[in-house]
Structure 1
Amino acid sequence: MSLCLVAGALVVRLGVDAATLAWTHSVEKTAWEEDWAATAQGLVLREARVRGSGAGMEPPPDARFTGGAWRWTPHLPPLGEVILRRSGATADWRVCTRSGCRAMDELLPADADPVVMKPCWRGLTPAR
């Protein structure tokens, strides 16, 4: 199982089963990160982190402040996919793996929207 990014007919296999999606909140200009894992049940959100609060990004009551960020484990069931929109009005998504972070436009064309993150089976075939 691996993570894939899909934009139309283009499929980019990340070659890892877990990655962090990172972005900067468009209003608060605050860093937000989510750790996702591809499992046989679907995409699992393991941890969310935000480096501030305000404008719809208040951490939940069970969040703890460590390492300069509010951290918590969201209580979501596994998802079949996560849809990532790219407006061009804000900085692009960053995808972080063990080998480092890359802007989404290093992986897919800058105008590819939406981008769907989903689990992939062997090869380049997204899971259904």
Structure 2
Amino acid sequence: MSICLAAGALVISLGASEITLSWRHSVQKSLWEEVWQETREGLVIAEARIQGSGAGMDPPDGAKLVGGFWRWKPDLTPLREVVMRRSGATADWRVCVEGRCRSLDELLPAEADPVLMKRCG
């Protein structure tokens, strides 16, 4: 099992069934991270975390402040795919696999938009 990134006909396997997707909020500049896992039912968020709050980024009730991040488990049904848009006006998405983080433009062309995260296969 593995999570893939797709942009048009280009599909890249990340070689892992769990990744961390991160970005910086365009206004607050706070770091936001989501841990995604591939399951038989689809992609699920194991944990969401945000470093700070404001501009619509307030952590939900029940979030806990641990290690400088507000952390919680979103209550979402599994998704078939996650659509990531790239405006060029902000820093690109970052993808971390087993502690190794790379900017999305290291994996796919900078002009590739939208990018879909989905199960491979």
Q: State the TM-score, normalized to the length of structure 2.
A: 0.98
- Structure 1 alignment gaps of length 5 or more: none
| Runs of 4+ more than 4 Å apart | none
Residues 18-76 of structure 1, C-alpha deviation per residue, up to 9 Å, x if partnerless?
A: 00000000000010000000111000101000000000100001100010010000000
Q: Tell me the percent identity.
A: 63
Map of 1:30-109 to 2, 5 A cutoff? 30-109=30-109
SS in 2 for 1:70: strand
Paired with 1:50 and 1:40, the residues of 2 have a C-alpha distance of: 27
- Structure 2 alignment gaps of length 5 or more: none
Q: State the TM-score, normalized to the length of structure 1.
A: 0.93
Q: 1:112 to 1:34 in 2, by over 3 A?
A: same
Aligned residue pairs, count: 121
How far is 1:13 from its partner? 0.4
How far is 1:112 from its partner? 0.2
How far is 1:99 from its partner? 4.8
